[in-house]
Homo-oligomer: A and B are copies of this chain.
Amino acid sequence: MKTGNVLKLVYLGINAYKEAVIYMRRNCHVCRSEGFEVPARVKIVHKNGTILATLNIIESELLTSHEASLSVYAWELLNASPGDDVQVFHPPHLNSLDYIRGKIYGRTLDKSQIKEIIQDVIAGSLSDIHLSAFLAATADGHFSKDEILYLTESMIETGNQLKWENDLIVDKHCIGGLPGNRTTPIVVAIVAAFGLIIPKTSSRAITSPAGTADTMEVLAPVDLNLNAMRKVVEKENGCIVWGGTVNLSPADDILIRIERALVLDSMGQLVASILSKKIAAGSTHAVIDIPVGPTVKIRTTSSANELKNYLETIGKIIGIEIQIVFTDGTQPVGRGIGPALEAKDVLSVLQRDPNAPQSLRERAVMLAGQVLEFSPQVHKGMGYALAESILNSGQAWEKFQAICHAQGGFFPPPTAKHVKTICSKKKGKVIATDNRYLSRIAKLAGAPTTKAAGIELLAPVGTEVNVGDPLFIIHSETKGELNYAINFLSTGREIFEFGKSP
């Protein structure tokens, strides 16, 4: 134990997301004796464990030369407390960095190499710079089908994995990007009402105004741990919980963040991400909804087909049957954009409200029908009608309420304090909407942080509008956020595209 290397931890509360950072004075004895200079990587030894971190230098009186601080992620990785001692050293050699470099130079990686990379991702040993190089080097065309398989297997092996008694465990997944596309709660309710086991984990919004977990959270608790989730499924056949708490694919959660910064959707990463989470959830069969359109994740038929091929063939190898459904990704599904507004759409479909958005109802029934056809009791082609009858009979609505109660309670969705109806300045038929701008306005209005905030779309594609007709309503909790969203509209961006009137 080299006592000369010891520094005392001080809490500064700096959150650098999933990057472990250590903050030290430049003139601290450890920096000097080890010869550290930013942006070095260093090894931190703490009584609870050892991690690697990026060094940032403090040039002010925030720390003394005998103190150090950590980023929030590093505190968590070490489970450290203020006042604890840490020792700081030069980092060890990382084999995984050699493999990443090998990939940059076009080499093919084997299973053990990919697994070591993924293990180091989870341990926080690789910095954002390393992860970015890995993703760039494994983007489309640089990662073989075998390598995608190894990546999927490595993600499965390094995360939690659920086991179920039943032989048939179904799932449903949508390749994101389409606002308001909240079919999941409806699909789960129909499928669970029929009697299939569907332990569904969903994500929160990353860049969108709402993820399925955000929407579901309006109606019931979603922060369930593995045990609690299991109890819900054992009781009600299904659940809709947040995947972040159950930690099914921790490596994926870290890599997705870098992909987002690069605005890079790597096919291999996407396939591994989806399949690893399905296998981790214990699923044997899954329907995957791939919306295709110019402003969603999958933009062309050829990339949709490539993705389908990877999902089906790798799915087969790792033991999950995949059914792909291509859907229209050109405009929002449902009427609401934002957690509570989407939750209201979901409820209206389940409650068989005649004013429920038909686009959401139809898509949910179609997807539920596909899932039902995994059952040996359901003949091919009969799923849609069966799903519709379960919805129409009220069984799905009852099942949904039961699932909510099992998850901890069923709450009515909140209503926003401030609304503003935006009317058309043009006359004509709506022929397209810009989904990215709609999402942006919903976020400016407060979604997903403010549950009630968002947009209510009144003029979907196909609507004939006159000057002064309502196009959408902005919902906000505060006057400031409402104005913020309205201001965005004054910048002259074209959200609706109109065709010539007859």
Within 8 A of B (CB), among A5-33: 11-19, 23, 26, 29, 32-33
Q: A4 interface residue, CB < 8 Å from B?
A: yes
Question: With A and B bound together, what is the CA distance between A12 and B446 in angstroms?
Answer: 29
Interface string of A440-473 (1 = CB under 8 A from B): 0001101111000000000000000000000000
Interface segment out of the listed A55-63, A214-222, A395-403, A493-501: A55-63
- Given A17-B39, A39-B257, residue A444 in contact with residue B264 (CB < 8 A): no
B136 and A132 contact, CB distance less than 8 A: yes
> Could you show 12 A-B contacts with beta carbons less than 8 Å apart?
A12-B62, A17-B38, A17-B39, A18-B39, A35-B444, A59-B72, A100-B262, A105-B141, A106-B141, A129-B131, A133-B135, A136-B137
B-contacting residues, A182-197, CB 8 Å = none
Size category, A interface: 35 or more
Chain B: CB-nearest residue to A19: B39
Q: Which residue of B lies closest to A90 (CB)?
A: B440
Known: A16-B56, A105-B140. 14 other contacts (CB 8 A): A2-B487, A4-B483, A13-B61, A18-B39, A32-B481, A33-B444, A33-B481, A34-B444, A35-B444, A129-B261, A130-B132, A130-B261, A133-B133, A134-B136
Q: Give min CB distance, A267 to chain B, whole Å.
A: 11
Q: Is the CB of A16 within 8 A of B41?
A: no
Given the complex of chains A and B, what is the CA–CA distance between A442 and B67 in angstroms? Answer: 26
A258-284: contact bitstring with B at CB < 8 Å (1 yes, 0 no)? 100111100000000000000000000
Answer yes or no: A101 CB below 8 A from chain B CBs.
yes
Partner of A97 from B14, B263, B444 at Cβ < 8 Å: B263
Chain B positions within 8 Å of A100 at CB level: 262
A266: nearest chain-B partner, CB-CB: B104
Residues of B within 8 A of A57 (CB): 14-15
CB neighbours (8 Å) of A116 from chain B are none
List chain B residues, Cβ under 8 A from A19.
39
Asked if A15 contacts B135 (CB within 8 A), the reply is no
Nearest chain-B residue to A139 (Cβ)? B104
Partner of A127, one of B17, B71, B261, B447: B261
- CA of A342 to CA of B16 in the docked complex: distance in angstroms? 41
Most B CB contacts (10 A, CB to CB) among A39, A133, A137 go to A133
Residue A480 lies at the interface, judged by CB distance under 8 Å to chain B: yes
CB of A253 within 8 A of chain B?
no
In angstroms, Cα B93 to Cα A316, docked, is: 40
As for how many copies of this chain the complex holds, the number is 2
Q: Does A437 contact B (CB under 8 A)?
A: no
User: In the assembled complex, which residues on chain B have CB atoms less than 8 Å from the CB atom of A2?
Assistant: 484, 487
With contact pairs A13-B62, A101-B264, A105-B141 given, residues A32 and B133 touching in the complex (Cβ less than 8 Å) = no
With A35-B443, A443-B35 known as contacts, the answer to whether A262 contacts B130 (CB < 8 A) is yes
**Interface pair A129/B72, CB less than 8 Å apart:** no
Complex interface: chain B residues within 8 A of A23 (CB): 14
In the assembled complex, A147 has its CB within 8 A of some CB on chain B: no
CA–CA, A370 to B258, complex, Å?
48
- Residue interface mask A226-258, B partner, CB < 8 A = 1: 000000000000000000000000000000011
Please measure, in the bound complex, the distance between the C-alpha atom of A264 and the C-alpha atom of B33, giving whole angstroms: 26
A262 and B133 form a contact (CB under 8 A): yes
Q: How far is the CB of A210 from chain B (nearest CB, A)?
A: 11
A145 to B127, CA, bound (A): 31
A263: min CB distance to chain B, Å: 6
In whole angstroms, how far apart are the Cα atoms of A18 and B129 in the complex? 13
A128 interface residue per 8 A CB criterion: yes
- Complex CA–CA separation, A130 to B260 (angstroms): 11
Q: How far is the CB of A174 from chain B (nearest CB, A)?
A: 21
In the bound complex, do residue B32 and residue A449 qualify as a contact, i.e. CB atoms below 8 Å apart? yes
The answer to whether A13 touches B59 (Cβ under 8 A) is yes
Chain B nearest CB from A68 CB (Å) reads 13
- For chain A, residues 80 to 124, give those with C-beta under 8 angstroms from any C-beta of chain B: 97, 100-101, 104-106
Cα separation A174 to B428 with both chains bound (whole Å): 69
Chain B residues, CB < 8 A from A132: 128-130, 132-133, 136
Query: Hey, what's the 0/1 contact readout for A482-494 against B, CB within 8 Å counting as 1?
Result: 0110010000000
A442 closest partner in B (C-beta): B35
